[in-house]
Amino acid sequence: MDKSVKDISIVISLLNEAESLPELHTWIRRVMEENNFSYEIIMVDDGSTDSSWDIIRRLSEEDKSVRGISFRRNYGKSAALYEGFKAAEGRVVITMDADLQDSPDEIPELYRMVVEDGWDIVSGWKQQRKDNKLTKNLPSKLYNWTARKVTGVKLHDMNCGLKAYRNEVVKNIEVYGEMHRYIPYLAKNAGFTRITEKPVHHQKRKYGKSKFGLERFVNGFLDLLSLWFLSTFGKKPMHFFGFTGLLTFLAGFVCALWVIIEKLVQQCSGLHYRPVTEQPLFYLALVALIIGVLLFLAGFICELISRSGQERNRYNIKEKIK
Range of the domain at 276: 237-308
* 85/46 same-domain check: yes
Q: What residue type is 90 in one-letter code?
A: G
Cβ neighbours around 236 below 10 Å, total: 13
Do 199 and 245 lie in one domain? The reply is no
Residues 279 and 181 in one domain: no
Please state at what angle helix 107-115 crosses helix 21-34, rounded to 10 degrees. Answer: 50
pLDDT value, residue 16: 93
Instruction: Tell whether pTM > 0.85.
Output: no
Specify the DSSP class assigned to residue 137.
I
pLDDT score of 317: 63
Indicate if 170 and 137 belong to the same structural domain: yes
Q: CA 143, CA 221: separation in Å to the nearest integer?
A: 7
Amino acid at 126: K
Count of domains observed in the chain: 2
At 272, the pLDDT band (50, 70, 90 cuts) reads confident
Instruction: Report yes or no on 218 lying in a domain.
Output: yes
319 lies in some domain: no
Name the residue with higher pLDDT: 116 or 206.
Answer: 116
Q: Which of 233, 257, 290 is the last residue of a domain?
A: 233
More confident residue, 216 or 240: 240
Domain-embedded: residue 298: yes
Residue 302, pLDDT score: 83
- Average predicted confidence (pLDDT) for the chain: 87
CATH number of the domain that 159 lies in?
Answer: 3.90.550.10
Q: Is 13 helix (H, G, I), strand (E, B) or coil?
A: strand
Does residue 13 sit within a domain?
A: yes
| Whether residue 249 is found in the same domain as residue 222 | no
- Examine the domain organization and report whether 137 and 281 are in the same domain: no
Which of 212, 233, 254 is the last residue before a domain boundary?
233
Q: Do 122 and 224 fall within a single domain?
A: yes
Confidence (pLDDT) at 217: 63
Apex 21 CA angle, 138 and 57, nearest 5 = 140
Higher pLDDT, 255 or 231: 255
Same domain for 263 and 127, yes or no, is no
| d(C-alpha 293, C-alpha 312), whole Å | 26
Which DSSP symbol is given to 292? H
The reply to whether 58 falls in a domain is yes
Same domain, 37 and 143: yes
Residue 1 in domain: no
- Say yes or no: 205 and 66 in one domain: yes
User: Does residue 45 or residue 269 have the better pLDDT?
Assistant: 45
255/209 same-domain check: no
What is the chain's length? Answer: 322
Interatomic CA distance for residues 311 and 318, integer angstroms? 18
Q: How far is CA 78 from CA 71, 98, 161, 308, in A?
A: 13, 15, 11, 27
Q: Is residue 321 part of a domain?
A: no
In a domain, 132, yes or no: yes
Which H or E run includes 195?
strand 195-199
Measured CA to CA, the distance from residue 160 to residue 163 in angstroms comes to 7
Please give the share of the chain, as a percent, with pLDDT higher than 70: 89
| Domain final position from 207, 233, 259 | 233
Q: Which residues contact 148 (CB under 8 A, 6 or more apart)?
A: 154, 155, 158
Q: How far apart are CA 199 and CA 218, in angstroms?
A: 26
d(CA 228, CA 170): 20
Residue 134 CA to residue 35 CA, distance in Å, equals 39
Distance, in Å, from the CA atom of 188 to the CA atom of 121, rounded to the nearest integer, reads 10
Nearest of 209, 187, 204 to residue 196 by alpha carbon: 187
Statement to judge: residues 117 and 180 lie in one domain: yes
Please name which of 43, 17, 12, 32 lies closest in space to residue 210, comparing C-alpha atoms.
17
Residue 199, strand partner residues: 125
User: Which of 21-30, 203-212, 290-299 is predicted least confidently?
Assistant: 203-212
